[in-house]
C-alpha cells in the first residue's frame, strides 16, 4: 500500500488556473424556426443552468453455466435539463410551448405538417451547444453538442404571494446523441 504525505504545493501545482468554474458556461439553441409564438434569441442569456451529459454504457449480462458475466451493451442516452429565467414577455416559454404544440397538438393529437420529417429543415428537432468558458475570457475549454434535441417537458411554474423571486423553469430535452470535439466522443 502506497503512503502519501500531505503537501499543498503538490496539489496547487496541478491546479494552475484554479479549476473550471460551474458558473462560467454558455448554452445556445439553434431552433429559430421551431416555435410559432415567442422567440428563442435570448436563450443563451436566459439559460441559467445546464449540465454536462453523462456517458453511460448499459451492462448486458450473459449467463454461462449459471454464472452471470457482464459485458458492455449499448450506449444509453440520458435526458438534458436546462434551467431558464422567465422574463415578463415569457418569450422563451412561449416558444417552447409552441414548439411542443407543433410536435403534438393538445386539441387534435397531430403533428404540425411542417414537422413531418425527423431531421432536416422541416424537422421537429434542433441542435444545442453547451460550452465551458475559460476564466480569462479566451474562449471555451470544453464543448458539448447535443444532436436532434426537442423539448419533452415544460414544467409548471408555481405562483405565490409569498415570494419575490424571478421565475425560472426547467425544460427537459430529449436528444439522440452528444458529441465533444475535445474528447473525440460522438464524432
Position 120 scores a pLDDT of 54
pLDDT confidence of residue 83: 96
Query: Average pLDDT per run of 10 along the chain, which is 187 residues long?
Result: 76 81 91 73 92 89 93 89 94 92 88 67 84 91 93 94 93 93 80
Number of domains within the chain: 1
Q: What is the pLDDT of residue 114?
A: 74
Q: What is the pLDDT of residue 82?
A: 96
What Rg, from alpha-carbon coordinates, does the chain have? 21
- 112 domain-assigned: yes
Q: Residue 44 belongs to what domain range?
A: 21-57+80-179
Is 73 a domain residue? no
Contact 103, 65 (CB under 8 A): no
Cα 73 to Cα 42, 61, 66, 79: the distances in Å are 39, 9, 20, 19
pLDDT at 5: 79
What integer pLDDT is reported at residue 93 of this predicted model?
93
> CATH number for the domain including 51?
2.30.110
pTM: 0.83
φ/ψ bin of 7: left (φ > 0), alpha (ψ from -120 to 50), beta (otherwise): beta
For residue 85, is it within any domain? yes
d(CA 40, CA 29): 8
Amino acid at each position: 500500500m502506497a503512503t502519501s504525505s500531505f503537501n499543498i504545493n503538490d496539489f496547487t501545482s496541478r491546479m494552475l488556473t484554479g479549476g473550471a468554474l460551474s458558473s462560467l458556461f454558455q448554452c445556445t439553441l439553434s431552433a429559430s424556426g421551431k416555435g410559432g409564438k415567442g422567440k428563442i434569441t435570448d436563450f443563451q442569456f436566459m439559460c441559467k443552468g445546464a449540465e454536462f451529459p453523462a456517458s453511460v454504457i448499459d451492462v448486458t449480462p450473459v449467463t454461462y453455466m449459471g454464472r452471470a458475466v457482464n459485458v458492455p451493451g449499448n450506449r444509453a442516452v440520458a435526458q438534458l435539463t436546462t434551467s431558464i429565467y422567465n422574463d415578463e414577455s415569457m418569450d422563451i416559454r412561449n416558444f417552447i410551448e409552441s414548439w411542443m404544440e407543433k410536435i403534438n397538438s393538445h386539441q387534435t393529437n397531430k403533428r404540425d405538417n411542417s414537422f413531418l420529417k425527423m431531421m432536416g429543415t422541416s424537422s421537429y428537432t434542433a441542435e444545442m451547444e453547451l460550452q465551458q468558458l475559460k476564466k480569462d475570457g479566451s474562449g471555451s475549454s470544453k464543448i458539448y453538442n447535443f444532436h436532434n434535441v426537442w423539448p419533452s417537458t415544460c414544467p409548471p411554474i408555481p405562483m405565490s404571494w409569498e415570494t419575490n423571486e424571478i421565475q425560472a423553469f426547467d425544460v427537459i430535452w430529449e436528444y439522440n446523441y452528444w458529441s465533444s470535439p475535445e474528447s473525440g466522443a460522438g464524432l
